[in-house]
Amino acid sequence: MSQAADPPMSRPRGKFSADPPPAPRVTLPVLGVPIDVVNQAEAVRRIADWGSRRESRVVCICNVHSVVTATRDPALQAALSRADMATPDGAPVAWMLRRQGAAGQQRVSGPDLMLAYCAHAAATGEPIFLYGSTTATLDLLQQHLHERWPALHIAGALSPPFRALSPAEEDEIRATIHRSGARTVWVGLGCPKQELWMSRQRGQLNAVMLGVGAAFDFHAGTMPRAPRWMQQYGLEWLHRLASDPRRLWRRYLVTNTLFIVAVVRGRFGRAP
């Protein structure tokens, strides 16, 4: 396992000063991507700790698709490797951590982490920002989140154009998020677009950015999520494939096959 402490904290801890400090970071490689040995409660605590000081941080949620794609996409590989935390989304990724010594490691999925953090934010009054997807989905998402947590402070929601952004447009988006006062930015652009966007904003946007992919659609109710038993047995990908086979069949055929090849060869930490 590799272990690296977070950078020194020069600013006051703020409202979270009574909380114990987050545990030191520990990662293990999955196809060359450093994945954090972390549970959901610890992930929430780290995010809250960073957010309390308005630090510019990136959190990636890594499943089979993202780690396999990174072996063939240097820009995505760099973005994932630079992330301040990369959680093991997807049962196979968590399984590979367990095989390397992280006993008891479970999934820390984007949809579940988002709900856990929204509960924390609602309890503490912390503002959040939603970035990505369509305006219609964002409207439904905000409605459903407020139904569940009426006190949740959603400081802003923005659906960007479905094309490459100009530097001026990215500057304006950053300014909008800064003005909102949000401490966390939940990004639903899909992989690898969201990871590359967050990587570009690192050091410029003073908030914790979290790429949660399809979580917006799940929590807005525009896409059904797999039953809990399928999630527990690592079959959530199969449910998604059955829900949208025309769009996803190639993605799962290629990435799942390459992942299985890596497992069979025992190349847990290296690309297949």
pTM of the complete model = 0.83
33-46 pLDDT, tens per residue? 999 999 999 999 99
Residue 180, C-beta contacts closer than 8 angstroms, at least 6 positions apart: 127, 129, 155, 156
Choose the weakest-confidence range: 54-58, 62-66, 134-138, 265-269. 265-269
3-state secondary structure of 101: coil
43: region left, alpha or beta (phi > 0 left; psi from -120 to 50 alpha) = alpha
- pLDDT value, residue 13: 40
- pLDDT value, residue 187: 98
Tell me what the mean pLDDT of segment 102-123 comes to.
Answer: 96
Return the H-helix or E-strand segment holding 33: strand 33-36
What average pLDDT does the chain have?
86
Domain boundaries defined on the chain:
28-220
- pLDDT value, residue 8: 38
pLDDT over 60 (residue 165): yes
Tell me what the mean pLDDT of segment 146-156 comes to.
Answer: 98
pLDDT over 80 (residue 12): no
- Which one, of 142, 151, 168, 180, lies nearest residue 54 by Cα? 180
Angle, helices 245-265/91-99, rounded to nearest 10 degrees: 10
User: What's the CATH number for 28-220?
Assistant: 3.40.50
Residue entry with tokens 């993202």: 66
What pLDDT band is residue 162 in, cutting at 50, 70 and 90? confident
250-263 pLDDT, tens per residue? 666 667 777 777 77
170-228 pLDDT, tens per residue? 999 999 999 999 999 999 999 999 999 999 999 999 999 999 988 999 999 986 665 66
